[in-house]
Amino acid sequence: MEKQVNLKTIYYRGLLRSCNYKCSYCPFHFPHHSDFSADENALKRFCERIHEQDGKLTVMFVPQGEALIQEYYHHAIAALCGFDNISIIGCQTNLSFDVKKLSSIVTYNSFKLSLWCTFHPSRVSLSDFLKQCERLIEGGIKFCVGAVGDPAAIPVLKELRRKLPSAIYMWINILKGLSNYTNDDLEVFSDLDPLFRLELENYPADPALCIAGRESIFVEGNGDYFACNISKVKLGNFYREEKIVPPKICLSKKCSCFLAYSNRIELRDMFWGDDVISVRNPKLVIY
């Protein structure tokens, strides 16, 4: 991979295609049969390559499914936390894994770890989810909490917000396929997540207005990397010295998800600090 001078953030989605939850609104809820050994080997290769990168980096795991129930992800996170060139390690999770085990493996470098925890009320009770949050706090692991903005779940989401410590950011993602929200729904979800209305914007995709592909890249399990998770244009391979200069680096018409629109220049100050060490992205959990 040709060195990316301004590279600050790397999103990684390995070969994992497996989840212990089957949520109807999730694009990864279909039954999958992963080759966990292949995913583990790909993850080890990724970590080795990360160790060779220059500059301070944030690494965010965005798996297709639940990664943290696999112990090899715990060891990979611990290794990355120990690298001097890593400022922050983030990971999406449904928080169903053994928190105490992860804490014991990461140990002294847990301050680098930030988890993006999604509450699924159809799969876990509020009390059990909150107990997991308490274990994260006890283990010194930073995290935020969020959920899909299903109007039917408003009562339990309000209760979740009420019982969480005030310093923990709570975010709400739009419910895909819902034709519209009522004004009351919008008010509730905006109270829960002050940034919720960003989810409702239809940002036209425009590489000229985006840092993706320059300051952040999205890496797949085989090493192919893209500007972001929906840009659809391969820019190179993380493990090979190659340079691809496509006529366009993005074929998407809209920045239709947080991982895409958080890279937009006009929103950058809302999500990122000038120095990656001081990242202040609430959905990447810097609290």
pLDDT digits (tens, 9 = 90+) for 59-84: 999 999 999 999 999 999 999 999 99
Enter the pTM of the model. 0.92
Cβ atoms of 74 and 101 within 8 Å: the answer is yes
What is the per-residue pLDDT for 34? 79
pLDDT for residue 110: 87
Confidence of residue 276 (pLDDT cuts 50, 70, 90): very low
Q: What pLDDT is attached to residue 247? A: 87
Q: Tens of pLDDT along 240-259?
A: 977 788 889 999 999 988 89
Q: Per-residue pLDDT tens for 174-212? A: 998 787 899 999 999 999 999 899 999 889 999 999 999
Alpha helices, H only, 179-254: 183-192
C-beta atoms surrounding 53 within 10 Å: 18
pLDDT digits (tens, 9 = 90+) for 128-160: 999 999 999 999 999 999 999 999 999 999 999
Domains in the chain: ranges and CATH = 9-284 (3.20.20)
pLDDT in tens, 95-108: 999 999 999 999 87
Residue 65 Ramachandran class (φ > 0 left, ψ -120 to 50 alpha, else beta): left
Confidence of residue 3 (pLDDT cuts 50, 70, 90): low
* Both structure tokens of 189: 């979800």
Sequence-distant (≥ 6) Cβ neighbours of residue 170 within 8 angstroms: 144, 145, 146, 147, 160, 161, 164, 192, 193
State the chain's mean pLDDT as an integer.
89
